[in-house]
Amino acid sequence: VTRREQALHDLHGSQRDAELESQTLKKRIAETEKTLMSGAVTNPKELENLQQSLDSLRRHRAAVEDKAMEALLQSEETSARLQEERATLAALEADWRAGQGELGEEETKMKRNFLILRKQRENAVAAVDKDRLAEYERMRKRKAGVAVAAIENGECGACHVQLPTGVISAARTGDGLVYCTSCGRILHAG
Residues 101-113: tens digit of each pLDDT: 999 999 999 999 9
- Is a pLDDT exceeding 90 seen at residue 21? yes
- Is a pLDDT exceeding 80 seen at residue 77? yes
- The pLDDT, as a whole number, for residue 190 is 76
- Could you tell me the pLDDT band of residue 83, with boundaries at 50, 70 and 90? very high
- 8 Å CB contact between 41 and 9: no
Q: Provide the 3-class DSSP secondary structure of residue 162.
A: strand
- The pLDDT, as a whole number, for residue 9 is 87
The residue-averaged pLDDT of 20-41 equals 91
- 8 Å CB contact between 182 and 160: no
CA atoms within 13 Å, Cβ hemisphere of 55: 6
- Could you tell me the pLDDT band of residue 7, with boundaries at 50, 70 and 90? confident
- 8 Å CB contact between 110 and 102: no
- The pLDDT, as a whole number, for residue 119 is 97
The residue-averaged pLDDT of 142-162 equals 95
- The pLDDT, as a whole number, for residue 112 is 98
Whole-model pTM: value is 0.44
- The pLDDT, as a whole number, for residue 41 is 82
